[in-house]
């Protein structure tokens, strides 16, 4: 008897069955990824390409008419409301994200200390990001509503910051109100993410630094921050993109008003489509936003790759 | 700077005792190894010396300075970790410079001292590399550089070799030993590997379940282990422990075990007069067993058995031999000059004498030949 | 009709880099072939090629007359123990071990009692009988490794692949298990491949040993051949505890004899070696000296080498003295028990009969 004529039973226990057999078929890997690729194509790629197609057409009231090259883009760039929306997005991102980032980092450091009731606190911190943005908007709209809102009545009015009207009715303050709500909504999320990141850092370098006589400030800036950098970078980038696209909070709080004071690109796109029924125009806007992200992300990625040794 | 531990204990939550009433001393310029299996309390002890863990009761002194209440940064110690604990985002140079930068020393001084370390540890060629790209051995050398650069009073090694490949282990072991001796470093080494402890340290403290079992020079521990735990923990391959009986026949004390009877010398007999136990454990080191000559010498006992496994060690062969007699089987390992042609299944006769064997109490496991009469 | 496992000129690329070059091996049923080499040498890849988890880019693998490379992994009837254990986290220890026996993909049915008996036997052998109802998550690394080993040995396979099977166990258990596994595997009618980074383990466990370095077989032979006549300097550097010392130098002929020469050293070579060196006269060479083929002598004298102590490590039964010879470090295994201080000068004698010479350029043994 040799091993060949009657191969004994019981073999190759831990190998996924039928793996190598199908590997010999060249199409097997493609068959495996096909469902995902088809789904992605149908729900993402085709609509995206179709959007590009529409943006080159005169398309109003649900009808695709003449091919007009880049005329929609020209109109868009000439529209002061477009530039206004870019400015709104810029102000929003540049104020909200850094504040959320800093508060998140400080919060995470506090959470890392041995504080009491941490186990109660952490689930509570999930609440803002778990709530639907529409609800968040409604809650704050009520709390900051003119002379009867809980917060505006008790705080803002008493200190004379605001009289009679809602903060969201003031062209000067509405955007800051929205920024405030966004910070309220997202800071706890940043805090928890950074906290989780800190918990995953190796403990021995901290001991080494303690033995070396480093003080808490040195430990934070020379150890925690550099070791956390890749995570900070990724979370920061995601939040940046997300903030740029802000829509639902604004929609419920001000719908872009007063006037165009809080009209972000997403809100403007909505209005192009459903208020003016100009789908060609809104498609062009979407393409421009996509281009901005594309360029921005690439630059960010290159910088990160060089400076942080991530990816 | 010598280190003293006086009755140091560590308990967690008032119940779990990690270290119990530990008294230790490490003289200036020497290396003391804390040796034991995982969970024996050696790492906790090291952390208490470092100040990362607080002492529950007892005191730690560095020279004439009590340090138990000081934070780690104020003790002037340095530590080398199992996983190197380097700052992955910094270069070799910057890692070593790190403790100096924390102290805001002048740039020129930092440069000078780090360069000195790079020379000492032969890291000059890779001074600007990011540490995560280096081999384990090189990373650990960087960690040692970071520890030494500050000229600490005490340097603590926490399993410094356990993540390294075999050849790097041997190299770095030698390297650390030389540094420790030539620089006169007072150091404590925590390890679970007896080879490392023996090769590197001046004295070894063997611990088990938070209790000190024996402390002494490697040679003392090798020759006169205090109990069966130390006996099997020190020495490679480990000491054979075989159940045996003491029997007195016409003034001569005999040791009877599985497949052998050995008359004990008068000297050994005298050392055993204080004991009235008959059930003992015979401790016999594999390297003190030889293949039996045709006619065994006087005072030699012979065990016959069958080879279970032959381990190739280059210049020696370690034979695992099954000795069957009186319905029981004992497995004995013998480290004999090799290579031999003996393979599994071969019949062998092993010879040993009483000069280098140890005898332990079968119940308590303490060494009957060295234990003070109670 | 051939029997056993045959690897014929196997090559494997990963991402355009060749990781295995021209690997040819034959293992007969009942034989244990140990594969040893540094990490990254290709030991694990070789095992994965045999079990079918990787496909070779060149060459064929046969098991008896069956061409394995044409079969999927599940049809090869190979028992593969993974270095990473690969236990099923949702099954307890006993279920993990029994899994390959009870899996519906098998073409033979085992009685429940037989499976139970196998599990008991193997867990007892590996001293994890008391853990049979634990889940892998509750086990230490060494315990997991033993479960994986049991799972591989439980099978009636056509070929056994054991990838670093006992590396995480303590020395005593490791020795016992080597004995037990050798007994089992030399009795089964199937070849066994045993991969380990520990060269001394390979020499102990293998009927023959293949030394794999950088994806090439540097040497294939019996344990004695590997230990006494390493084929290359790379093999020499790997084998022994501690490994062989390699001293670079040159050969010179004087007064009818051959001398090994390097800065401050002139050593007469014994006749049998001298013969073999003749073809490379004038080239550089490496002199291989085992640590136990040297000893430290009081005072100097002709034929001794002058060195200075670099470090001294006493092990009880012997001591290892690391000494500096010029710029090279040499390890000496001595039975002398006295203390050697750093930088102390010593005189070292060599046992000329156990010297090995390597060509300085090809680094092959002469």
Q: Do C151 and A16 touch (CB under 8 A)?
A: no
Are C155 and C301 members of one domain?
A: no
pLDDT band at B46 (very low <50, low <70, confident <90, very high): very high
Nearest-neighbour CA in chain B from A194: distance (Å) = 18
User: Of B200, B219, B312, which has the smallest distance from its Cβ to C200's Cβ?
Assistant: B312
Q: Do B174 and C290 touch (CB under 8 A)?
A: no
Residue B268 has pLDDT above 90, yes or no: no
Distance CA C326, CA C324 (A): 6
CB-CB neighbours of A306 under 10 Å: 8
Are C260 and C215 members of one domain?
A: no
Residue A114, SS3 per DSSP: coil
Distance CA B346, CA B339 (A): 15
Q: Do C82 and A3 touch (CB under 8 A)?
A: no
Q: Do C152 and A2 touch (CB under 8 A)?
A: no
Q: Which domains does chain A have, with CATH numbers?
A: 3-55 (no CATH), 79-306 (1.10.3720.10)
pLDDT, average across residues B245-265: 88
Half-sphere exposure of C18 (CA within 13 A, CB side): 12
Q: Do B102 and A223 touch (CB under 8 A)?
A: no
Distance CA C154, CA C162 (A): 13
pLDDT at residue B15, rounded to an integer = 79
Backbone torsion region of residue B54, taken as left when φ is above 0, otherwise alpha when ψ lies between -120 and 50, otherwise beta: beta
**Does residue C99 sit within a domain?**
yes
User: Of C178, C240, C314, which has the smallest distance from its Cβ to B309's Cβ?
Assistant: C178
Q: Do C313 and B177 touch (CB under 8 A)?
A: yes
CB-CB neighbours of C210 under 10 Å: 26
Residue A12 has pLDDT above 50, yes or no: no
Q: Do C52 and A19 touch (CB under 8 A)?
A: yes
Q: Could you tell me if B292 and B333 are in contact, meaning their C-beta atoms sit under 8 angstroms apart?
A: no
User: Of B85, B87, B102, which has the smallest distance from its Cβ to A213's Cβ?
Assistant: B102
**Does residue C239 sit within a domain?**
no
Are C120 and C253 members of one domain?
A: no
Q: Do A17 and C105 touch (CB under 8 A)?
A: yes
User: Of B72, B86, B156, which has the smallest distance from its Cβ to A210's Cβ?
Assistant: B72
Are C317 and C170 members of one domain?
A: no
List C211's β-bridge partners, or say none: C36, C219
Sign of CA dihedral B164, B168, B170, B175: negative
pLDDT at residue A255, rounded to an integer = 82
Cα-to-chain-centroid distance, residue C26: 17
Nearest-neighbour CA in chain C from A26: distance (Å) = 13
Nearest-neighbour CA in chain B from A306: distance (Å) = 13
The C-alpha angle B250, B254, B256, rounded to 5 degrees, equals 135
Q: Do B81 and A227 touch (CB under 8 A)?
A: no
Domain count, chain C: 2
pLDDT at residue B281, rounded to an integer = 94
- B7 token code pair: 């009755």
pLDDT band at C108 (very low <50, low <70, confident <90, very high): low
Of the residues C186, C202, C231, which one is the last residue of a structural domain?
A: C231
pLDDT at residue C1, rounded to an integer = 43
ipTM over 0.90: no
Round the average pLDDT of chain A to a whole number and report it.
Answer: 82
User: Of C175, C313, C322, which has the smallest distance from its Cβ to B237's Cβ?
Assistant: C175
Which residues of chain C make contact with A24, given a CB cutoff of 8 A? Answer: 55
Residue C86, SS3 per DSSP: coil
Give per-residue pLDDT as tens, A211-222: 888 888 888 988
User: Of C198, C311, C337, which has the smallest distance from its Cβ to B177's Cβ?
Assistant: C311
pLDDT at residue C27, rounded to an integer = 95
**Does residue C366 sit within a domain?**
no
Distance CA B340, CA B309 (A): 12
Q: Do C71 and A21 touch (CB under 8 A)?
A: yes
Query: Which of C39, C227, C313 is the best substitution to test chain B (most B C-beta atoms within 10 A)?
Result: C313
Which residues of chain C make contact with B163, given a CB cutoff of 8 A? Answer: none
Are C84 and C183 members of one domain?
A: yes
A302 phi, psi to nearest 5 deg: -65, -45
- B195 token code pair: 């080879």
For C322-365, the DSSP string reads: EEEETTEEEEEEE---S---TT-EEEEEE-GGG-EEEETTT-BB
> Interface partners of B (3+ CB pairs, < 8 Å)?
A, C
Of the residues C231, C261, C284, which one is the last residue of a structural domain?
A: C231
C109 phi, psi to nearest 5 deg: -100, 135
The C-alpha angle C211, C212, C216, rounded to 5 degrees, equals 125
- A78 token code pair: 């000439």
CB-CB neighbours of C312 under 10 Å: 23
Residue C315 has pLDDT above 90, yes or no: no
Are C180 and C88 members of one domain?
A: yes
Give per-residue pLDDT as tens, A17-65: 344 444 456 788 888 899 999 999 999 999 999 989 988 888 888 778 8
The CA-to-CA distance between both ends of chain A, in Å, stands at 54
**Closest chain B residue to A224, measured at CA:** B87
Q: Which of A140-149, A252-261, B118-127, B305-314 has the lowest mean pLDDT?
A: A140-149
Residue C219, SS3 per DSSP: strand
Residue A15 has pLDDT above 80, yes or no: no
Nearest-neighbour CA in chain A from B237: distance (Å) = 33
Q: Which domain holds residue C281?
A: 245-359
Q: Which of A138-147, B113-122, C306-315 has the lowest mean pLDDT?
A: A138-147
* Cβ-based neighbours of C330, under 8 Å, separated by 6 or more: C245, C247, C289, C294, C307, C322, C323, C324, C348
Are C289 and C189 members of one domain?
A: no
What is the DSSP pairing of strand B347-353 with strand B290-291? antiparallel
Are C200 and C326 members of one domain?
A: no
pLDDT, average across residues C48-56: 91
Q: Do C76 and A11 touch (CB under 8 A)?
A: yes
**Does residue C237 sit within a domain?**
no
pLDDT, average across residues C171-184: 87
pLDDT, average across residues B307-318: 87
Are C112 and C199 members of one domain?
A: yes
Are C260 and C192 members of one domain?
A: no
**Residues 295-334, chain C, touching B (beta carbon < 8 A):** 310-317, 320, 322, 329, 333
Are C210 and C284 members of one domain?
A: no
Nearest to B189 by CA among B179, B178, B202, B208: B202
Nearest to C344 by CA among C312, C303, C301: C312
Of the residues C176, C206, C231, which one is the last residue of a structural domain?
A: C231
**Does residue C236 sit within a domain?**
no
CATH number, domain containing residue C187: 3.40.50.300
CB-CB neighbours of B42 under 10 Å: 28
Distance CA A184, CA B172 (A): 54
CATH number, domain containing residue C350: 2.40.50.140
Q: Do B87 and A226 touch (CB under 8 A)?
A: yes
Q: Could you tell me if B325 and B258 are in contact, meaning their C-beta atoms sit under 8 angstroms apart?
A: yes
Give per-residue pLDDT as tens, A155-208: 666 666 666 567 787 788 888 889 999 999 999 999 999 999 999 888 888 888
Are C115 and C212 members of one domain?
A: yes
**Residues 101-120, chain C, touching A (beta carbon < 8 A):** 101, 103, 105-108, 110
Nearest-neighbour CA in chain B from C125: distance (Å) = 14
Q: Which of B29-38, B347-356, C98-107, C298-307 has the lowest mean pLDDT?
A: C98-107
């Amino acid at each position: 008897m040799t091993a060949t004529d009657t191969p004994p039973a019981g073999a190759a226990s831990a190998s996924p069955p039928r793996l190598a057999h199908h590997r010999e078929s060249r199409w097997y890997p493609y068959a495996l990824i096909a469902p995902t690729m088809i789904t992605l194509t149908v729900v993402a790629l085709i609509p995206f390409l179709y959007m590009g197609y529409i943006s080159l057409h005169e398309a109003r009231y649900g009808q695709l008419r003449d091919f007009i090259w880049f005329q929609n883009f020209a109109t868009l760039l000439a529209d002061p409301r477009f530039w206004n929306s870019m400015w709104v997005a810029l102000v929003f991102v540049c104020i909200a994200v850094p504040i959320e980032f800093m508060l998140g980092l400080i919060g995470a450091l506090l959470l890392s200390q041995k504080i009491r009731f941490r186990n109660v606190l952490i689930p509570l911190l999930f609440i803002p990001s778990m709530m639907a943005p529409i609800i968040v908007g409604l809650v704050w709209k009520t709390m900051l509503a003119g002379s009867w809102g809980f917060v505006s009545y008790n705080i803002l009015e008493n200190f004379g910051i605001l009289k009679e009207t809602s903060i969201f009715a003031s062209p000067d303050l509405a955007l800051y109100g929205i920024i405030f709500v966004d910070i309220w909504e997202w800071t706890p999320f940043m805090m928890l993410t950074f906290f989780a990141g800190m918990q995953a850092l190796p403990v021995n370098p901290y001991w080494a630094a303690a033995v070396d006589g480093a003080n808490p400030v040195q430990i934070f800036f020379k150890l925690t921050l550099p070791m956390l950098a890749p995570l900070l970078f990724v979370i920061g980038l995601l939040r940046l993109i997300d903030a740029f696209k802000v829509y639902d909070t604004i929609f419920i709080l001000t719908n872009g008003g007063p006037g165009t004071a809080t009209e972000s690109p997403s809100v403007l796109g909505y209005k192009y489509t459903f208020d003016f029924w100009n789908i060609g125009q809104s498609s062009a806007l979407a393409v421009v936003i996509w281009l901005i992200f594309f360029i921005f992300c690439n630059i960010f990625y290159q910088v990160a790759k060089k400076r942080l040794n991530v990816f | 700077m010598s280190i003293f531990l006086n009755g140091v204990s560590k308990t967690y939550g008032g119940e779990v005792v990690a270290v119990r009433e530990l008294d230790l001393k490490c003289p200036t310029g020497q290396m003391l190894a804390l040796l034991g299996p995982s969970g024996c309390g050696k790492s906790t002890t090291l952390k208490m010396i470092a100040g990362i863990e607080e002492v529950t009761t007892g005191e730690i002194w560095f020279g004439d300075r009590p340090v138990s209440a000081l934070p780690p940064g104020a003790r002037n110690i340095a530590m080398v970790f199992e996983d190197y604990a380097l700052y992955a985002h910094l270069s070799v140079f910057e890692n070593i410079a790190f403790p100096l930068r924390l102290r805001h020393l002048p740039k020129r001084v930092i440069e000078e001292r780090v360069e000195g370390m790079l020379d000492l540890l032969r890291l000059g060629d890779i001074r600007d590399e990011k540490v995560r790209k280096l081999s384990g051995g090189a990373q650990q050398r960087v960690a040692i550089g970071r520890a030494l650069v500050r000229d600490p009073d005490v340097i603590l090694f926490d399993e410094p070799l356990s993540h390294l490949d075999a050849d790097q282990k041997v190299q770095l072991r030698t390297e650390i030993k030389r540094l420790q001796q030539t620089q006169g470093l007072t150091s404590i080494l925590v390890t679970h590997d007896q080879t490392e402890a023996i090769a590197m340290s001046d004295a070894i403290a063997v611990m088990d379940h938070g209790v000190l079992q024996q402390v002494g020079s490697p040679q003392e521990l090798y020759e006169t282990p205090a109990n069966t735990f130390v006996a099997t923990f020190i020495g490679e391959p480990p000491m054979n422990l075989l159940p045996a009986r003491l029997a007195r026949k016409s003034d001569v004390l005999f040791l009877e075990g599985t497949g052998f009877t050995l008359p004990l010398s008068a000297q050994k007999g005298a050392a055993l007069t204080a004991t009235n136990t008959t059930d003992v454990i015979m401790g016999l080191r594999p390297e003190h067993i030889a293949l039996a000559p045709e006619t065994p010498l006087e005072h030699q006992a012979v065990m016959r058995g069958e080879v279970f496994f032959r381990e190739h060690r280059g210049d020696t062969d370690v034979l695992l031999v099954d000795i069957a007699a009186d319905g029981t089987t004992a497995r004995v390992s013998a480290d004999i000059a090799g290579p031999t042609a003996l393979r599994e299944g071969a019949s062998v006769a092993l010879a040993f004498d009483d000069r280098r064997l140890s005898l332990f109490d079968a119940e308590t496991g303490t060494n009957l030949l060295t234990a003070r009469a109670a | 009709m051939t029997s056993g496992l045959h690897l014929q000129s196997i090559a494997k690329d990963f991402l355009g880099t060749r990781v295995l070059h021209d690997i040819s091996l034959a293992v007969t049923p009942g034989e244990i072939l140990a594969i040893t080499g540094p990490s990254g040498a290709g030991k694990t890849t070789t095992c994965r090629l045999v079990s079918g988890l990787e496909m070779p880019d060149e060459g064929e693998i046969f098991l008896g007359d069956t061409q394995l490379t044409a079969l999927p992994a599940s049809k090869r009837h190979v028992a593969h123990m993974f270095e990473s254990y690969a236990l099923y986290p949702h099954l307890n220890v006993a279920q993990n071990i029994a899994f390959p026996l009870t899996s519906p993909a098998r073409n033979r049915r085992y009685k429940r009692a037989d499976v139970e008996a196998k599990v008991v036997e193997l867990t007892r052998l590996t001293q994890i009988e008391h853990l049979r109802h634990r889940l892998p998550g509750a086990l230490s690394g060494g315990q997991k490794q033993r479960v994986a080993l049991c799972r591989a040995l439980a099978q009636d396979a056509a070929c056994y692949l054991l990838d670093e099977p006992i590396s995480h166990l303590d020395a005593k258990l490791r020795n016992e298990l080597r004995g037990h596994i050798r007994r089992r595997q030399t009795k089964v009618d199937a070849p066994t491949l045993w991969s380990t980074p520990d060269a001394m383990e390979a020499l102990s466990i293998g009927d023959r040993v293949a030394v794999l370095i950088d994806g090439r077989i540097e040497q294939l032979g019996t344990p004695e051949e590997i230990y006494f006549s390493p084929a290359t300097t790379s093999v020499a550097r790997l084998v022994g505890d501690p490994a062989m010392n390699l001293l670079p130098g040159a050969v010179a002929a004087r007064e009818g004899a051959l001398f090994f020469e390097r800065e401050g050293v002139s050593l007469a070579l014994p006749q049998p070696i001298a013969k073999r060196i003749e073809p490379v006269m004038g080239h550089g060479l490496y002199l291989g000296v085992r640590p136990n083929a040297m000893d430290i002598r009081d005072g100097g004298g002709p034929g001794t080498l002058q060195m200075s102590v670099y470090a001294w490590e006493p092990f009880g039964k012997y001591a290892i003295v690391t000494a500096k010879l010029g710029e090279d470090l040499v390890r000496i295994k001595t039975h002398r028990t006295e203390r050697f201080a750093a930088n102390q000068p010593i005189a070292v004698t060599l046992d000329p009969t156990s010297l090995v010479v390597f060509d300085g350029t090809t680094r092959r043994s002469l």
